Structure 1
């Protein structure tokens, strides 16, 4: 692959002490992400995929191993620099939308855009998620699928290099789930963002450039899709 490597994960291990028992969440994970690619990290519940995402995103630390972002080891950053990394380089999309309930859709997106000097226009984002006419509505006035699209736009608003998505369709039905995936694909293509989705839904892997299969804290295999599907073609 001739794209720019923006993230390099080396020998990532994560252990938790649960009383007298040591839980091995990750057992030496190696992976890389390239600029502008769409990847899926696929595995069952408890496989370690969320732990990978949290460590990549700088909200958890490994027991050992390294995460290099454009040549910088994030484990060596002080708290101020790590906060800057999370604010500028990473966007998060969660299964549950975490929108601020007393802010409108527009205001939720604007809140994130104020974190960046290179923010994407809120109007452009509302158009991208096809909610131009719902920008002044509060989350309680939006459907689940609409709320998730706002959450995705909020994550993209600050113009991060990498968008990390934790089960973004987990709380949605098939139709609204495909709508959310269309937005993620659009941001990936139109804004040249690296998108990484963790999911247990194998079908979503069909639309990825690469699929990382995770089981018992290790990456079992990596599959390259020569012809990724469009979200509308994914068969749930």
Structure 2
């Protein structure tokens, strides 16, 4: 596997008056092509900060961050904007769908900013919702809305899909459906998927698991035999 994103001694510091709060403290990591990586840690551990930095939504205080051969930490706002637009897709705990647009229209939104978008109907079909393409978000269940949000992210055709607690607001059945889709995107589309979660059971389906606590990476473990989404105990 090639290295897609690499961080070296990455720190993120927030100032609270005269006190420095380290959300991340000199962490180094590599993220590979076509892998499913789970970042596991309790609330406040720094996992969302790490995801935001990898996604170009936040800047690091010190250290180095590379996307392939591009030095994101040196590129300034324009390079980060291009990186977010062209290489990164986002899925959040809350769906952030436009309530006045249908499912297919929500998916089409992402295609408008992509240089190589995927077909919106095909993406809705890939998440099992083509038959509901003309429904508005209020007419869909929470699990269906999350699947539309995933289809929207996939339609952008990103190299890396970042998922922040994507099952946090769902029941166990809907959660498994979402996890199946994320695994499919990694294996069939050959894309990198990163899921941050506090659900330890989800880690069992990952190719690798990054454990983070108190702003530091405790360890990164490779799963020799990842389980299927149907086997995840939620």
Correspondence for 1:85: 83
Correspondence for 1:152: 150
How far apart, CA to CA, are the structure 2 residues paired with 1:118 and 1:84?
A: 14
Contact 2:86 2:115 in 1 (8 A): no
Shift of 1:21: 2.2
| TM alignment of 1:37-186, pairs within 5 A | 37-186=35-184
Deviations 1:165-214 (A, max 9, x none): 00001111111111111111111112111000000000000000000000
Does 2:23 match 1:25? yes
After the TM superposition, list the runs of 4 or more consecutive aligned residues in structure 1 that deviate by more than 6 angstroms.
none
Shift of 1:219: 0.6
Correspondence for 1:189: 187
Deviations 1:22-61 (A, max 9, x none): 2111111111111100000000000000000001111111
- SS of equivalent to 2:226: coil
| TM alignment of 1:204-215, pairs within 5 A | 204-215=202-213
Match of 2:232 among 198, 211, 234: 234
Q: RMSD between aligned alpha carbons? A: 0.9
Structure 1 unaligned spans of 5+: none
How high is the TM-score relative to the length of structure 1? 0.97
- SS of equivalent to 1:222: strand
How far apart, CA to CA, are the structure 2 residues paired with 1:7 and 1:80?
A: 18
Please say which of residues 75-84 and 195-204 is displaced more in the overlay.
Answer: 75-84
How far apart, CA to CA, are the structure 2 residues paired with 1:171 and 1:19?
A: 35
How far apart, CA to CA, are the structure 1 residues paired with 2:89 and 2:83?
A: 10
